[in-house]
Structure 1
Amino acid sequence: MFKYAIVPYSRMSDDTVSRRGFLKAAGAATVVATSTAGCTDSGGGGDGGGDELVYSRGDHPQNYDPQQTTSGEVSKVTNQIFDTLIQFKPGTSGELTSGLADDWTLDGTTATLTLREDATFHSGADLTATDVKATIRRFIDDEYDYYLGSDRSGYASITFGDWVDSVEATGDYEVTIDLTQQYAPFLRNLAIFAAAILSRDQIESLGADAQPELGTDPVGTGPFEFDQLDNETQRVRLTAFDDYWGGAPSVSAVIFKTTGSNQTRAQGLINGDAHITDNLDAQSIQKVSSADSASVRQKNGINVGYMAFNHDRKPAFRDPLVKRAISMAINRDEIVDSIYQGFAASANQPLPPDVLGHNDDIDSYPHDPQQAESMLADAGVTDLSFELATFSNPRGYNPNPIQTATQVKSDLAEIGVDVEINQFSQFSAYLEYTYDGRHDACLSGWYTDNADPDNFMYVLLHPGTDIDDVPADQNYIAWEDKNNVSNVSAWVDTDYMEFVDKGQRTYDDAARQQYYHQASQIAHDQAPWVYLDYADLIRGVNEAVVAESYTPTSVGGPFLDRVELA
């Protein structure tokens, strides 16, 4: 059996995990809470009315199919509409609790899940094991008539695709999943938003060619029903599902509205035009903090912000000396202290401090422009220029991406490196560009999906291929040959891959920690990224939100069905 650093599990045999065992242990453990988001009030005017909750954000995706996106902006909405088999407990750093499954075991390579019998879809149909099977097959089975195909997101491989050998409905309310290998993160992956359970009736009613349309009219079993998608005004409206198995929500509706400007979004929160807002920059945070009608909630985050080098596109980045020089030239402390104004800490490796496998013995690259310039000369690189792709809207791991990119450009100009900033106004367009590998380098970042080290080390820096498929003595992979779309560096190191693969396949916590310590050291030394920051999670909350009803959390959520308005 296995356990995680954040949520202690009770130990059984070496290759078995049961829900009852680790829930009992987790209940006795002290868990550090982290953060999420908030809303506005009946008395404040604006978009909401009565007991409608308004969640203000910085971007507006137009597709709300959890199997077609990697966007956290989408998951904020889909987590209200859909349920997963296993869920993250609100207010914790990744503790697991019952979802659509109320019992489960993972024994070697076989997972068995017993479904609750009181869950219904918004259409009125009962949830059964056939819905679970159809959901998984739509995501990963190219022999299924309703397979999503090229429209599916990279989460297909993270959640099911690379690990599920077969899925069977072994009873009306029992599902058996056989894995291709022992896979330590599997139960946690079942709680990721992309593993949400869809309606088989809706999948089949859409037909094979219309599967992408599910994202404009999603039907789930969650606490809120999809009501309106207004792309012109950039709003999404959900209404309470009174027959929700977990109990009816405390508010009648949730409105997600988009306001691109941080300052405008903060002022709207203060005015009562929104109840909760996220992704604020330092100036907006100060503005909310000083207001009488709103407050800031700040928690330790489980995320990393970084600048990724595209090793496939830019040959100069294949030399670790060049990347270390760039890392030393960029003043990361200036970014963290002045741009993020203390709401983050400097990063030095892929894993944040709160995750199993973070290596405390790794030192950050010092800020030393003179040494950086000398290292470039030693590498024979005296005329380096590259494009830096960046998004515009604030993200938790990078609350001011344009200012960050400008700082990088300025710092590198001091050592003779020319940077051209390529700014994207829409995050979806930025994702498409970088996932296609058209960037030289890009500012990026990652919120944890499941609080497991594999979610960083494999998803972001492993090519998703077998070690034997990597050409000898080559530290990059052709873009079209890698399988992890979120690996936007196309970097390869076979020793790193070996440690990460071992970390996936063992259920022993102590062994996993050592594997990730060694992998983190390699990732630091080879520098496929400039490690920028580990950011706090910041949420602005209007006074209309009943304080005890809002539970900040770093994994999953936001849990808006629990929010009450005064």
Structure 2
Amino acid sequence: MKKGLSFILAILVLLSVVLAGCGSKETTAPKENQEQQEAEVQSTLVFGRGGDSVSLDPANVTDGESLNVTKNIFDTLVDYKEGNTEIEPALAEKWEASEDGLTWTFYLKQGVKFHDGTDFNADAVVFNFNRWMDKENPYHQGDFPYYGYMFGGYKGDEGHVIKEVVAKDPYTVEIQLNKPQGPFLNNIAMTAFAIASPDAIKKYGDKFGENPVGTGPFVFKQWIRNDKIVLEKNPNYWVQGYPLLNQLIFKSIPDNQARFTALQSGDIDMMDGVNPDDVTLAEKNADLQVWLRPSMNVGYLAFNTEKPPFDNVKVRQALSMAVNKQALINAFYNGLAEPAKNPMPPSLWGYNDAVQDYAYNLDEAKKLLAEAGYPDGFTTDLWYMPVPRPYIPQGKKIAEAMQAEFEKIGVKTNLVTEEWATYLEKTGKGEHSMALLGWTGDNGDPDNFLYVLLDKDNAKAPDAGNISFYKNDQLHEILIKAQQSSDVNERTELYKQAQEIIHNDAPWVPLVHSTPPLLGKKNIVGFNPHPTGSDKFTKVHFE
């Protein structure tokens, strides 16, 4: 029961007593009103989170706090199955690919409406793709970073994957590629490539991110910055009988402990960004339940390789030896993580388990620093995230622990943070020296980690996915070859080679692969946390 409701109900009960004493014929009305209000409470779910969204235009963001919301407003042509990254139909009922992998044909679901009442059809799909990929398009208002990450740049760029998108008839779309792309289907299932209402984009222009219109299970209602985003049930959702909730609210509560207190008091119904000790407390609370999200992420410390002394590989390797990953896990993850040695998690195919991690060894770290020309160490900045994320649940505390270790080898660090949107903006521009960040896999393909986060194609401001600005031509050739292959065995071997190169060059310190916990009320059913970190609340309801 939400805060304040008990007071209202008390007034209603008192009113019923007064009316009964006066001989009123309406003594049953308050009871009916009470049942109605309780039903309304139980059809609203409040999800507590650590930070606000940056924008609600899914094509224009990469942060989880934005994508978690837009996942419920928009739909994609194809989607991931519950609990894994296998592909299933969504707005496209079926599809087929040519033998050479250069032409993909999608047959669209008919009768689907956008939230503004306009029709979803082939022209809408073409409009969205043209908006994303063509920087000269009048509606390409923003940076559209994910499109560049996943499809080799934009129209006119040398590595651009998509040649043309054509409406063959009102409900058939053909996507022609310049070159085959192994993870193509997995890519277009990403929330970033959800189909938005063309009419709404034209109406709102660069304010579309504040006025999102899709075909999804929930309709955008209200956004109070740094407080809450309110979504309401889409009564015309194309999946008959869903969603089961009338309202879904994303509530921003930056402090993990305050968020857990809000859950215990009933002010929110679910939460992520959980302190380790609170998981144990929740497990002992008969009114709460714990979900564990399947691990498909990495938390990391990125070195800006374009800035001295991080342009020296021995400096990067030395700092890699000065991080006690297991101590971080023991202190900040309650055991719900494992040390990372590669930039992609072991849950993905193509993982190279033969790579040997840099051992925690302060003496060897000092020797490497001396060889690099820094026998007395140096002073630099260490940026930490201002919001809890699944892979870095307590950014400041983790940064402080690393700061203490680095000081033991003579490296003094000044801790720096920014508001979340600004943090992402500045690291994307390369303003940092070292920065904590992380990544939850979007589509279950190694390309989504290795190419997006560490290829030279994505080491470009202002929205670098590769915030190390690390560039290795040999790695690039391997990753592009893997992208263009449809042979999983060949791709696996190529990705193993790529991980060896990255390990030796050490542009990151891969820190952890976490198993993120979520907490919620015991009477919540139908929630199945997805490994991508973005959850659709279509089937969620209260018992």
* Normalised TM-score (structure 2): 0.89
Match of 2:10 in 1: none
Q: Secondary structure at the match of 2:432?
A: coil
Letter paired with 2:174:
T
Q: Report how far residue 552 of structure 1 moved.
A: 2.0
Query: Is the alpha carbon distance of 1:337 and 1:147 closer, same or farther for their aligned partners in structure 2, counting shifts above 3 Å?
Result: same
AA partner of residue 193 (structure 2): A
SS at match of 1:391: coil
By how many angstroms is 1:556 displaced?
5.9
- Between the two proteins, the alignment pairs up a number of residues equal to 501
CA distance in 2, matches of 1:50, 1:284: 25
Q: 1:325 to 1:143 in 2, by over 3 A?
A: closer
Following the alignment from structure 1 to structure 2, what is the Cα–Cα distance between the partners of residues 551 and 349?
27
List alignment gaps of at least 5 residues for structure 1. Answer: 1-39, 466-476
1:272 aligns with 2:252: no
| Mapped contact 2:83–2:528 kept (Cα < 8 A) | yes
Matches within 5 A, 1:342-381: 342-381=335-374
Structure 2 equivalent of residue 502 of structure 1: 481
Q: Within the alignment, does 1:553 sit opposite 2:530 as a pair?
A: yes
Determine the structure 2 residue equivalent to 1:68: 60
Offset, 1:41: 7.7
Greater Cα offset, 153-162 or 50-59: 153-162
Match of 1:528 in 2: 507
1:220-239, aligned counterparts within 5 Å?
Answer: 220-231=214-225, 234-239=227-232
Q: Aligned partners of 1:347 and 1:489: how far apart in 2?
A: 17
| 1:298 aligned onto 2:292 | yes
* 1:422 and 2:416 are equivalent in the alignment: yes
Q: Indicate how the Cα distance of structure 1 residues 45 and 276 shifts in structure 2: closer, same or farther if over 3 A, else same.
A: farther
Higher relative contact order (CA 8 A, sep 6+): 1
Equivalent position amino acid for 2:284 in 1: S
Report if aligned partners of 1:56, 1:257 keep a CA contact under 8 Å in 2.
yes
SS of the residue aligned with 2:41?
coil
Q: C-alpha displacement at 1:341, in angstroms?
A: 2.3
Amino acid at match of 1:508: D
Q: Quick check: 1:42–1:52 contact (8 Å CA) kept in 2? A: no
CA contact (8 A) 2:47 2:269 kept: yes
Distance 1:408 1:316 in 2: 18
Deviation track 1:361-383 (CA, whole Å, cap 9, x = no partner) reads 11211111011111111222223
What residue in structure 1 maps to residue 178 of structure 2?
180
Q: Contact 1:45–1:273 (CA<8 Å) still a contact in 2?
A: no
Choose the corresponding residue for 1:120, options 113, 118, 124. 113
User: In terms of Rg, which structure is larger?
Assistant: 2
Change (3 A) 1:204 1:499: same
Contact 1:464/1:484, CA 8 A, preserved across alignment: no
Q: CA deviation at 1:62?
A: 5.1
Quote the Cα distance in structure 2 between the aligned partners of 1:147 and 1:75: 19
Residue 45 of structure 1 and its aligned partner are, at CA, apart by 7.1
Answer whether contact 1:237 1:255 (CA < 8 A) is retained: yes
Q: Kindly tell me: are residues 44 and 109 of structure 1, through their superposed partners in 2, closer, same or farther at Cα, counting changes over 3 Å?
A: farther
Post-superposition offset of 1:197: 0.2
2:332·2:394 contact (CA, 8 Å) conserved in 1? yes
Distance 1:564 1:103 in 2: 29
- 2:146 pairs with 1:146: no
Distance (Å, rounded) in 2 between the aligned partners of 1:42 and 1:338: 34
For 1:312-327, what aligned pairs fall within 5 Å after superposition?
312=306, 314-327=307-320
Q: Is the 1:310–1:437 Cα contact (8 Å) retained in structure 2? A: yes
Whole-angstrom distance in 1 between the partners of 2:297 and 2:533? 13
Change (3 A) 1:506 1:268: same
* Correspondence 1:403 to 2:403: no
Question: In 1, Cα distance between the equivalents of 2:229 and 2:442?
Answer: 23
**C-alpha root-mean-square deviation of aligned residues, in Å?**
2.0
Q: Measure how far apart 1:562 and its partner are.
A: 0.6
Q: Distance in 1 between matches of 2:264 and 2:438?
A: 29
Cα distance per residue 1:459-482 (max 9 Å; x no partner)? 0000117xxxxxxxxxxx7x55xx
1:109 to 97, 102, 108: 102
Q: Secondary structure in 2 aligned to 1:374?
A: helix
- Checking the alignment, whether the CA contact within 8 Å between 1:320 and 1:526 is kept in structure 2 is yes
The residue aligned with 1:489 is 468
Report percent identity of matched pairs.
Answer: 33
Match of 2:246 among 245, 252, 275: 252
Whether the 8 Å contact between 1:275 and 1:544 is mirrored in structure 2 is no
Which residue type is aligned with residue 476 of structure 2?
M
Question: 1:155 & 1:529 partners in 2: Cα distance?
Answer: 21
SS in 1 for 2:456: coil
Specify whether residues 214 and 515 from structure 1 end up closer, same or farther in structure 2 by C-alpha distance, changes over 3 A only. Answer: same
- C-alpha separation in 1, matches of 2:6 and 2:107: 45
| Cα shift at 1:51 | 1.0
Contact 1:111-1:178 at 8 Å conserved across structures: yes
Structure 2 match to 1:311: 305
Q: Matched residues in 2 for 1:346 and 1:274: separation?
A: 32
Distance in 2 of aligned mates of 1:517 and 1:359: 5
- Specify the alignment match of 1:471 in structure 2: none
Corresponding position: 1:385 with 2:379: yes
1:270, distance to aligned residue in structure 2 (A): 2.1
CA shift, 1:354, in A, is: 0.8
Partner residue, 1:333: 326
Deviation at 1:142, TM superposition (A): 2.8
What displacement does 1:164 show?
Answer: 1.1
1:79-94 pair list within 5 angstroms: 79-92=71-84, 94=85
C-alpha distance after superposition, 1:100-123 (max 9, x if no partner): 001112321111111000311111
Is 1:156 the equivalent of 2:147?
yes
Matched letter for residue 419 of structure 1: T
Name the CA distance, whole Å, in 2 between partners of 1:75 and 1:204: 22
Q: Secondary structure at the residue paired with 1:135?
A: helix
